[in-house]
């Protein structure tokens, strides 16, 4: 009986060897089907314990509920670590990349813009009341410079590159203000102008962060239309960078997508000066729900070469 | 032989149905899955994702608890009660007895899984989300994971006390979900000895992460039938190994 019993162990060991080979094959399959889970270092304590037992989805849901709570209470910056954590835990959950980027480039951006406007109003009020004896000329020059930069951004869109003229100028203003702060009596006044410069730099930073976040999301989800669309839209709407907008929207339409993506691409082609392509794009939309607007656009483009305001 | 095994399986199933803990765990699962309905303040897409996340996780986690609690004491319980002597005095082999007990556990796992899945599907249907093939694949792999857990608990139950078996099986369940992370750590180790030991350990431990496709399915990543097939084969081989070991240890038992 005992001798026969060893057969079980023998077969079990043999099966283990088969299992080893099969596991290699499964690992490979997980790799090619994007089912592999990378090692994650969690910034949140709550999520960590769930990851240990393979409940990433639940961890993501808890973080998502925290985002909801912070969102409704206006704590925009508190959302960021949770968004990043979710993007680590479930990188294929495209909603997190979309909402994260939108949150940075629109919500936080708007908050910074509002702060800038508030400071500008304060600056105007103080300028009338105060009697400046020191450094008034430099401060007013900076104010003029900031106004010019704002106009440039409105005309040409937000910059993406770190070493562009706008950022360089803003950084120079900031260092000048820092130096003036050391030996001036108008400290509070300088703090306001400093705040205006900071808010402009922050707006550019959050626009750029939104772009970077979407680009990272695309690395994990290269075969879905939505992240390319969001990136194209961001370049179009905030950056007025029509070249890049065309680049990403053209990528978006390579994958199954809703009709509005084609609509946006038609507008972007026009803005990028590619009228022929814009016409072709509108023609494609003649058989869709965008039929009426496509007809108008085609009439206007053929007649005036312009449709998008 | 088949009839004898089936009789033992059916008896095991009826016996497990009498355990109160089974119903407690089913109720817990239903409460958890049902609780996901409270997230209706979220957008439809987010709410559906949460229902699926919580649903799959509850089915898997409570299913694992049911498999462990039910299987751990299935053989040792017979020994403690003394009913094993009556059974073994009949013309059935020890291997038949182990296999019968195991099939009984499969029935109980299937019974629970059907109840939980029906509730889960109903909830999805209420949200106008049909139960598609990807969800079926997820449930199918969860089922095989639970059967593997059960077979391991049966094997351990032949040489270890019940409390140890439950604790060990549960820790193994957690460790089994971490093995894929372990593999990634092993790949970074330079020492060939540690690497070798690590690889052997990785192969020996059940890799429950193979069965885990829920995190991907809920975000819309399709899983191929090739992967599902390979994983089921993996589960089948692991079940065979566990049963062979269970029969080996049961044969060595002096009863």
Of residues B180 and B108, more confidently modeled: B108
Instruction: Name the residue with tokens 């680590």.
Output: A88
pTM equals 0.75
Residues of chain A contacting residue B233, judged by C-beta atoms under 8 Å apart = 22
Give the integer Cα–Cα distance in Å for B4 and B19: 23
- Averaged pLDDT, B144-148: 96
Chain segment B73-127, per-residue pLDDT in tens: 888 888 877 777 777 777 888 888 999 999 999 999 999 999 999 989 988 888 8
The conformation of residue B36, written as its DSSP 8-state character, comes to: G
A120-145: b (≥16 Cβ within 10 Å) or e: bebbeeeeeeeeeeebeebbeebbeb
Q: Which 3 state secondary structure label does DSSP give B222?
A: coil
Tell me what pLDDT residue A52 has: 58
A221-251: b (≥16 Cβ within 10 Å) or e: beebbbbbbbbbbbbbbbbebbebbbbbbeb
Note whether A8 and A50 are within 8 A (CB): no
Any idea what the Cα angle at residue A73 is, between residues A68 and A74, rounded to 5°?
A: 100
Note whether A169 and A149 are within 8 A (CB): yes
Residues of chain A contacting residue B237, judged by C-beta atoms under 8 Å apart = 15, 18-19, 22
Q: Give B 228-247 residues with CB within 8 A of chain A.
A: 230-231, 233-234, 237-238, 240-241, 244-245, 247
Q: Give B 171-230 residues with CB within 8 A of chain A.
A: 173-174, 177-178, 180-181, 183-185, 202-204, 207-210, 212-216, 218-221, 223-224, 226-227, 230
Helices (H), B82-161: 83-89, 94-126, 133-156
As given in the structure block, the two tokens for residue A200 are: 């402009």
The mean pLDDT value of chain B amounts to 87
User: To 10 degrees, the CA torsion angle through A238, A240, A242, A248?
Assistant: -10
Q: How far is CA B164 from the centre of its chain?
A: 18
Tell me what pLDDT residue A236 has: 92
Q: Please give the interface size between A and B, counted as residue pairs whose CB atoms are below 8 Å apart.
A: 128
Q: Which 3 state secondary structure label does DSSP give A206?
A: helix
Give the integer Cα–Cα distance in Å for B110 and B116: 10
Chain-chain contact of B221 with A33 (C-beta, under 8 angstroms) = yes
Q: How far is CA B245 from the centre of its chain?
A: 18
* Averaged pLDDT, groups of 10, chain A, 309 residues long: 73 87 87 70 53 73 85 83 86 90 92 90 77 67 85 82 80 83 71 88 92 93 93 92 92 91 91 88 86 85 78
Tell me what pLDDT residue A134 has: 58
Any idea what the Cα angle at residue B95 is, between residues A5 and B164, rounded to 5°?
A: 85
Q: What is the ipTM of this complex?
A: 0.73
Give the integer Cα–Cα distance in Å for B55 and A92: 19
Of residues A94 and B25, more confidently modeled: A94
Tell me what pLDDT residue B225 has: 94
Instruction: Name the residue with tokens 């033992």.
Output: B8
Q: Counting Cβ atoms within 10 Å, is residue B133 exposed (0-12), middle (13-18) or buried (19+)?
A: exposed
Tell me what pLDDT residue A144 has: 85
SS (H, E, C) A142-170: HHHHHHHHHHHHHHHCCCCCCCCHHHHHH
Asked if the model's pLDDT at residue B15 lies above 80, the reply is: yes
Asked if the model's pLDDT at residue B37 lies above 80, the reply is: no
């Amino acid at each position: 009986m005992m001798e026969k019993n060893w057969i079980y162990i023998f077969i079990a060991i043999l099966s283990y060897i088969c299992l080893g080979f099969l596991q290699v094959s499964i690992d490979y399959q997980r790799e090619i089907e994007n089912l592999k889970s990378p090692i994650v270092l969690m910034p949140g304590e709550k999520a960590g314990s769930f990851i240990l037992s393979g409940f990433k989805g639940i961890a993501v849901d808890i973080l998502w509920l925290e985002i909801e709570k912070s969102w409704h209470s206006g704590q925009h910056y508190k959302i960021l670590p949770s968004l990043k954590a979710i993007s680590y835990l479930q990188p294929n959950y495209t909603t997190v990349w979309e909402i994260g980027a939108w949150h940075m480039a629109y919500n936080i951006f708007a908050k910074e813009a509002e702060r800038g406007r508030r400071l500008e109003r304060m600056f105007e009020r103080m300028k009338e009341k105060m009697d400046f004896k020191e450094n008034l000329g430099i401060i007013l020059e900076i104010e003029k410079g900031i106004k010019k930069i704002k106009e440039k951004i409105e005309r040409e869109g937000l910059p993406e590159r770190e070493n562009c003229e706008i950022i360089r100028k803003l950084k120079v203003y900031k260092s000048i203000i820092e130096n003036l702060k050391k030996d001036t009596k108008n400290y509070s006044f300088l703090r306001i102008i400093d705040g205006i410069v900071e808010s402009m730099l922050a707006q550019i930073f959050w626009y750029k962060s939104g772009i970077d976040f979407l680009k990272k999301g695309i690395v994990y989800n290269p075969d879905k239309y939505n992240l390319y669309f969001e990136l194209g839209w961001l370049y179009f709407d905030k950056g007025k960078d029509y070249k890049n907008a065309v680049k990403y929207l053209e990528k978006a339409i390579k994958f199954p997508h809703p009709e509005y993506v084609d609509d946006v691409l038609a507008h972007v082609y026009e803005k990028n000066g590619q009228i022929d392509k814009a016409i072709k794009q509108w023609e494609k939309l003649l058989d869709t729900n965008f039929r009426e607007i496509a007809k108008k656009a085609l009439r206007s483009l053929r007649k005036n070469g312009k449709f998008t305001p | 032989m088949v009839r004898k095994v089936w009789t033992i399986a059916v008896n095991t199933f009826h016996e497990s149905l009498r355990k109160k803990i089974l119903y407690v765990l089913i109720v817990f699962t239903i409460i958890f899955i049902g609780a996901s309905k409270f997230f209706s303040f979220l957008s439809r897409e987010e709410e559906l994702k949460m229902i699926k996340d919580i649903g799959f996780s509850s089915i898997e986690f409570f299913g694992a608890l049911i498999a462990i609690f039910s299987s751990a004491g299935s053989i040792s319980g017979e020994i403690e009660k003394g009913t094993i002597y009556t059974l073994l005095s009949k013309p059935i082999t020890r291997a038949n007895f182990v296999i019968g007990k195991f099939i009984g556990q499969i029935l109980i796992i299937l019974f629970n899984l059907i109840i939980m899945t029906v509730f889960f599907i109903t909830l999805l249907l209420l949200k106008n989300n049909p139960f598609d093939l990807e969800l079926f694949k997820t449930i199918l792999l969860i089922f095989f994971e639970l059967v593997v857990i059960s077979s391991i608990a049966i094997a351990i139950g032949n040489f270890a006390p019940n409390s140890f078996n439950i604790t060990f099986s549960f820790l193994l369940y957690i460790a089994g979900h971490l093995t894929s992370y372990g593999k990634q750590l092993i790949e970074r180790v330079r020492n060939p000895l540690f690497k070798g030991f690590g690889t052997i350990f990785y192969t020996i431990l059940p890799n429950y992460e193979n069965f885990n496709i829920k995190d991907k399915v809920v975000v819309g990543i399709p899983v191929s039938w090739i992967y599902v097939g390979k994983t089921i084969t993996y589960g089948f081989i692991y079940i065979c190994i566990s049963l062979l070991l269970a029969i080996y240890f049961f044969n060595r038992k002096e009863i």
